[in-house]
Amino acid sequence: QKEVEQNSGPLSVPEGAIASLNCTYSDRVSQSFFWYRQYSGKSPELIMSIYSNGDKEDGRFTAQLNKASQYVSLLIRDSQPSDSATYLCAVKGKYGNKLVFGAGTILRVKS
C-alpha cells in the first residue's frame, strides 16, 4: 500500500463547475496535510494546508480533512481553465520532517 494515494485522473470538469480531488493516507498518526499545484514543466507550489478535522476555506479552494477515515480532499469552486494542472497531496507524519507526496491528480478544466 502506498503511503499517500490519489486517483491519477485526468479529472475533466467544465468551466465554472466544482472540481473535487481526493487523497487517502496510510499513516494514522500523520498530522499535517498539504495540497500543491504543479503546472506542466514547473515546480510544485503550495495552495492549501490543513491540520485539524473539518473544512478550511481560502478563496475558491476548500480543503477537507477526516483523520478517522484518513482522507483529505480539495474542492475548487468555479473552476477556471487556469486551474488545469496536476494537484499533489502531501502528508507529514508526527515524527520526522519528511513530506510524503502522492502521485498527483491531473485536472483539466474545459472552457
Partner 1 sequence: GAGVSQSPSNKVTEKGKDVELRCDPISGHTALYWYRQRLGQGLEFLIYFQGNSAPDKSGLPSDRFSAERTGESVSTLTIQRTQQEDSAVYLCASSPPKGSSTGELFFGEGSRLTVL
Give the binding site for partner 1 (CB under 8 A): 32, 34, 42-46, 49, 51, 88, 90, 92, 96-104
DSSP lists the bridge partners of residue 102 as none
Cβ atoms within 10 Å of 55's Cβ, excluding its own: 12
Rank residues 54 and 96 by Cβ distance to partner 1 and give the closer one.
96
Q: At its nearest, how many Å lie between partner 1 and the CB of residue 16? A: 29
| CA–CA distances in Å: residue 100 to residues 10, 47, 72 | 21, 16, 14
Q: At its nearest, how many Å lie between partner 1 and the CB of residue 107? A: 15
